[in-house]
Structure 1
Amino acid sequence: MAPTREMSLETKERIVKLLEEGNPSRMVAKDVGCSQSAVSKIWTKYKQHGMVVKAKRTGRPRKTSKRQDKQLKAICLENRKSTTKQMKHKWEEVGVNVCDRTVRNRLKEMGFQYRKAKRKPALTPKHKRTRLQWAKERQSWTVDDWMKVVFSDESRICIGQGDDSFVCHPGFRSAVLPVACTVCCTIKIMINLTWVYSVCLTTPQHTVS
């Protein structure tokens, strides 16, 4: 059954006034445009409490206690890369049976939010030494030297690499966000774009490995 529209305070006060003047409930209901039973309920509440203002409701009981919320916080901090569903399953292990939305609501209440981790290549010490050596060897190059170089750029689509989202507290600054190292994937599609000075050569290459 769909919820009924709440009667305005002005209408309730008018009903009480008409009834106090001695008008029958049927006539009052017709005058204000509501059912006779609604008029009777308002009149009964007025005689019991002396007012027609709606009493404050307690609302729906909270699904979790403060202790259980602390358990969720510990689960979240244990692995900040956990998804809402993973946290829900962990929470169920300690006896808390809630839906995914409740988990998100509790995390939001505690000030947590999902942020994207910074990305950087997973460089080994050898990679770093090689790159530094390459840069030192070319630090004195002229524009003519660089015009002889063939430049390329690429875009890679990976399958099998995990998400880089982390759950972070508002106290975290972007400068101290976790860093997700990029590694080789089991399956990848590579698209390359190569060009030289004054001539653009588009050579898409698709490789699956």
Structure 2
Amino acid sequence: MPGLKTKHDDIVRVIECHKVGLKTKEISEQTGILPRTIRRLFAKFKSGGSQDVPTHSKPPGARYKLSNHSVTLLKRQAQANPTLKARKLRENNIEVLGKVTVRTIWNTLNKRLGFKNVSAPKKPSHTESQVLQRDRFYREHIEWSLDEWKRVLFIDESMFSVSAGHPNPVWRSPRMNKFDKNS
């Protein structure tokens, strides 16, 4: 499988077999390591110039500041209450997150978990007069037959406004973002 690291003990066994004078095919049969991996280890051993066993290089980039437990906690809280800001998430979990900055929490939610911080649209609520009108309509037409309802045309109208205001930001999970793209 690509990307698997060879264990240090296996590397030592391969190098010892090589020093004894075994061929690549024989070493592969004894250790169960692929011949191309053995050849790569030989090249690394020879280019090192010393008799030390080659070790794996350090992975690139900085390590994550948050543990998997902390990330799971942030994910659950962002899903349960999407309106929480990163600062509030940090204040609520100071014992778990420690001295992690708000920016690190933001980046973890955004980059590592795939959440997006988007503006939540405000839905207009029904006024009291609209509620009374609907109630009156239902009471007047509760006895209608199916044929009478077939002659009615309902139109779904929505009210919206375009403004430069700053609506409340909410965290949208990757799953929600996927559904937004499809619609």
Category of TM-score, reference length = shorter chain: 0.3 to 0.5
Higher-Rg structure is 1
Q: What TM-score, normalized to structure 2? A: 0.44
Structure with the higher fraction of residues in strand conformation: 1
Structure with the higher fraction of residues in helix conformation: 2
